[in-house]
Structure 1
Amino acid sequence: KTTPSPTKRQSVSTAGAAPTTILPPNTKNLRRRRRLEVRGQRDAAFWSTMSVTEAVGEEEENHPSDSPSGVEEMTQPTQEEYSWPVIRFDVPPHRTYHFYHQYRTATNPNNFLKGVKWSPDGSRFLTSSEDNTLRTFTLPDYGSDGDVSNCYTASDEDSYAANLVMNEGESVYDFCWYPYMSALDPVSCVFASTARDHPIHLWDVTSGKLRCTYRAYDSMDEITAAFSIAFNPTGTKIFAGYNKAVRVFDLHRPGRDFKQHSTLQGNKEGLTGIVSALAFCPTQSGLLAMGSYSQTTAIYREDNMELLYVLHGQEGGITHVQFSKDGNYLYTGGRKDPYILCWDIRKAVDVVYKLYRSSEYTNQRILFDIEPLGRYLGTGGQDGFVHIYDLQTGHWVSSFQAASDTISGFSFHPYLPMAASSSGHRRYVVPDDVHEDVPLSGNENCASVWSFTTASMVENDADTNDHDFNSLSEQENLHQDP
């Protein structure tokens, strides 16, 4: 590799430095050249809406701030004012919103949900169901001064209708949000999905239309579907899992252009079988974890797909992998496997601990999630309960019943003390009962949003009770006879 020139090295180092750093004389030319290079790499058909964003960026450059320190003064209070809510898991959450009518139709009364995921900005959540449909629900009053933690009252109606409904042609294998999705930037409001016998689709959340596709072909020049997908941490590429292979698509170049990497090395070491789950390390360390239906998990380097570790120990095929917030641990779950395994990727020798969940009798993919602070993990199971575990000790903390059937997905809100759950499983009709309807309650095949109690809420309640008690004591003293 060639060593960059001093001018280039200086320009790169000053790009992320403080505004008071002295820039070289040709900084303006470097900015213009870099902007033209990035603009030339973008596909015109895909980024057609970028003109508005570029116009805003050019206007900001034409009218720079007179005082760079003013920017620091504006952003500094915002970072200090916000603090992560500390959730009290010892207090049962209450159901804020509930949805089940929208997932039941006359043609498919036994439809069930496969999973739920919050958007990175927390403005909405996305669900996948057996009817080959993806639905997005926007959180009411999100980002305003309104209270989003209103308690849901049991009724025969859904809390509100889905904002967008997107239909896939076949069964949906996997879906994921663009990592830098923000409702304030319509260009970033996208998510990717993969379905059987279909290419990877990139959906526009603002319109519900298909923005572009990423196609992979087999040796017979036929479209082959990805079993799992994930965006890399920088949001520039889509990694897709196939049988003994991973294909990498450039997000800015839709079509059939991709790079293919085998999951097996020259000595046949690596990941065998279908790549069923993908996860990137959140600490920008360049690590990629991949799970397969062959009951193994492997860790690779993102840049050159170099094999680092192969982890054995799962009883069933891997269905979900996720790194801890600090990037030191990896959690894996499998089908027909009652345990989520915790691995220390710094050693990768043995399992640190196991987290139990009731999934030993189902092939269904059950998604778990780690709360934003990285201390607790929530997972569902066949018993209809969501179990919370302390990741520092591996001990069970609490549980609450989220549905009357299998909890297929559980996702924490990225900023608020809330979570979303999805439930349902495939029901087989007995031949003798073909003409009989299968009665389902509102707590089956449903999606729910839950609000947790925080430590600040408990403190405020305690202060309120003390204030009420003191006021009552004062009133009693006033009414006493002299």
Structure 2
Amino acid sequence: MSSTDLNLTPKCVATTGDAFSEPFRASRNRGKCDGRSNLFRHATFSADGTTIVTQNEDNRLRTFVLPEDLLAERDELHQLERYSEYHPGTKIQSFAVYPKFALEDPSTTVVLSSSVDVPITLRNALHYDTVHAFYPFINERTEEFRSARSLAFTSSGSCFIAGGHNVIAAFDVTRPNSGPLSEFVLSPNRGPIDAFRLKRRAWVSAMKLSSGGLLAVGTTQREIGLFENHGLGKCVCTFPLEAREGTGVTGLQWSPCGRYLLVAERSSDTVQMFDVRDVRQEVGRLVGRNARTPQVLDIDVVPTADGFEAWAGGKDGHVRMWSNSGSQDALHTPDVDLDLHQVSSAIWHPSGSVLATSSGDRLPPNDSYGESDSSDSSDSDSDSDNGSDNGTGRSTATTPDNKLKIWTV
């Protein structure tokens, strides 16, 4: 089924334009600086749908507040401009937006972020210099700060879970400057493997809570763990990803009913799907994603009247949708294929009426734009289309396609 069959005709209504087309200067271990393409790594909507927080290649978090008249008929595109930005002194590992975010209440407009060698920090997304709390995540054996490669708030926002190397930890948001309430070591250091522990030591690279309060964690060693009580309870199940395709979990999403878990990996064209009632084998695969790249390409799930849709961007500039995957054949090809731009994130507004896409475009080595060197980046991908926006969202010239765009579909 094509997008034409479903009458999906995306219309771009807002864009950052060429604001992120210029290279930035990045320090190198070898002691020199090169121009780097300032691609968008991740983007996420706030719970109230008024705001988008992004992470870029230049190691900055940026907040974009959407125009109030975003959907009003007009001849020109809205120009998206950053409302505020945060540039820490060390590399950003992950961030999470507060689940009760409401633009009219500044006490709720906060975002957690984890950077190397510093505590996890709660800052105001409208004014990042305003720090609400620090949460030390420390290795007691070495007394060094742990890095949290993934962060997830509980649904109430009263606690959050941090995923580090071979460990997850639960923190009480209302206890600033305090360590974790609890920690769970994912795999034993020695001795027999516990049935409810993972087999391999690894980074927790993704986390997601289900509607029923089940926390799924995924690792760089391609294993999944499920935890009760929003991640505050015991581990109820662990299992490996059997398919020999991906190189580590990058994204997790739950179906709205909490029955199906969708797993995305680096360097994989498929999204694996599991029924949590029996996770011993996958129940289906979403194929044709076109994401065989080390760069992280996020996935999203949208509830519908008769089930749900899964959405994902591909390195070819297409956004694809799979509808009601749990009731389809084992290999489910896309139901919709939209040709937009070099997409790294395809995320839906909480209302389900607006689609936001962010793009990431690394140029090949020796390009006139600047030398591309991904040796120090965990999200490297040189398979990209170069060019400027021609009104359709695709690249046509020599400028990198690094944009945040808003679409009506």
The change in CA–CA distance for 1:125 and 1:240 in structure 2 (over 3 A counts) is same
Counterpart Cα distance in 1 of 2:339 and 2:14:
15
3-state SS in 2 of match to 1:116: strand
3-state SS in 1 of match to 2:145: coil
Match of 1:171 in 2: 91
The structural deviation recorded for 1:413 is: 0.4
The change in CA–CA distance for 1:432 and 1:384 in structure 2 (over 3 A counts) is closer
3-state SS in 2 of match to 1:101: coil
Query: Given the two structures, how large is their TM-score scaled by the length of structure 2?
Result: 0.79
How do residues 376-455 of structure 1 correspond to structure 2 at under 5 angstroms? 376-392=309-325, 393=328, 394-403=332-341, 405=342, 407-430=343-366, 440-442=387-389, 443=395, 444-452=401-409
The change in CA–CA distance for 1:197 and 1:401 in structure 2 (over 3 A counts) is farther
Q: Which moved more, 1:286-295 or 1:304-313?
A: 304-313
1:275 aligns with 2:204: yes
Match of 1:264 in 2: 187
The structural deviation recorded for 1:126 is: 1.1
How do residues 288-367 of structure 1 correspond to structure 2 at under 5 angstroms? 288-301=215-228, 302-314=231-243, 315-316=245-246, 317-356=248-287, 357-360=289-292, 362-367=293-298
Counterpart Cα distance in 2 of 1:426 and 1:162:
22
The structural deviation recorded for 1:193 is: 1.7
Higher strand share: 2
Q: Deviations over 1:422-466 (max 9, x none)?
A: 111433533999689x974244111111101xxxxxxxxxxxxxx
Aligned with 2:67 (options 126, 136, 140)? 140
The change in CA–CA distance for 1:173 and 1:401 in structure 2 (over 3 A counts) is farther
3-state SS in 2 of match to 1:220: coil
Counterpart Cα distance in 2 of 1:139 and 1:335:
30
Q: Deviations over 1:156-185 (max 9, x none)?
A: xx7131111121223322221111111232
Counterpart Cα distance in 1 of 2:70 and 2:145:
47
Match of 2:33 in 1: none
Counterpart Cα distance in 1 of 2:66 and 2:163:
31
1:197 aligns with 2:120: no
Q: Which moved more, 1:346-355 or 1:323-332?
A: 346-355
CA RMSD of aligned residues (A): 2.6
Q: Which amino acid counterpart does residue 20 of structure 2 have in structure 1?
A: Y
Higher Rg of the two aligned structures: 1
Residue pair 1:181, 1:189 contacting (<8 A) in 2 also: yes
Q: Which moved more, 1:117-126 or 1:263-272?
A: 263-272
Counterpart Cα distance in 1 of 2:83 and 2:363:
28
Please list every run of 5 or more consecutive structure 1 residues that lacks an aligned counterpart in the other structure.
1-87, 453-482
Residue pair 1:110, 1:426 contacting (<8 A) in 2 also: yes
Residue pair 1:372, 1:414 contacting (<8 A) in 2 also: no
1:120 aligns with 2:58: no
Match of 1:13 in 2: none
The change in CA–CA distance for 1:287 and 1:162 in structure 2 (over 3 A counts) is same
Aligned with 2:142 (options 220, 234, 237)? 220
Match of 2:166 in 1: 244
Counterpart Cα distance in 2 of 1:396 and 1:343:
18
The structural deviation recorded for 1:399 is: 1.4
3-state SS in 1 of match to 2:9: coil
Q: Which moved more, 1:339-348 or 1:217-226?
A: 217-226
Match of 2:378 in 1: none
The change in CA–CA distance for 1:105 and 1:434 in structure 2 (over 3 A counts) is closer
Counterpart Cα distance in 2 of 1:152 and 1:299:
49
Q: Which amino acid counterpart does residue 12 of structure 2 have in structure 1?
A: R
The structural deviation recorded for 1:351 is: 1.3
Counterpart Cα distance in 2 of 1:389 and 1:439:
28
Q: Which moved more, 1:162-171 or 1:226-235?
A: 162-171
The structural deviation recorded for 1:368 is: 0.8
Match of 1:207 in 2: 127
Residue pair 1:279, 1:290 contacting (<8 A) in 2 also: yes
Residue pair 2:239, 2:280 contacting (<8 A) in 1 also: no
Q: Which amino acid counterpart does residue 358 of structure 2 have in structure 1?
A: S
The change in CA–CA distance for 1:410 and 1:221 in structure 2 (over 3 A counts) is same
Q: Which amino acid counterpart does residue 275 of structure 1 have in structure 2?
A: V
Q: Which moved more, 1:201-210 or 1:336-345?
A: 201-210
Counterpart Cα distance in 1 of 2:221 and 2:340:
31
1:182 aligns with 2:102: yes
Query: Given the two structures, how large is their TM-score scaled by the length of structure 1?
Result: 0.68
Q: Which amino acid counterpart does residue 164 of structure 2 have in structure 1?
A: Y
Residue pair 2:24, 2:38 contacting (<8 A) in 1 also: no
Residue pair 2:119, 2:137 contacting (<8 A) in 1 also: yes
The structural deviation recorded for 1:324 is: 0.9
Counterpart Cα distance in 1 of 2:24 and 2:360:
17
3-state SS in 1 of match to 2:335: strand
The change in CA–CA distance for 1:293 and 1:130 in structure 2 (over 3 A counts) is same
The change in CA–CA distance for 1:355 and 1:311 in structure 2 (over 3 A counts) is same
Residue pair 1:90, 1:398 contacting (<8 A) in 2 also: no
Residue pair 1:95, 1:151 contacting (<8 A) in 2 also: no
Please list every run of 5 or more consecutive structure 2 residues that lacks an aligned counterpart in the other structure.
26-35, 373-384, 390-394, 396-400
Identity of aligned pairs, percent?
24
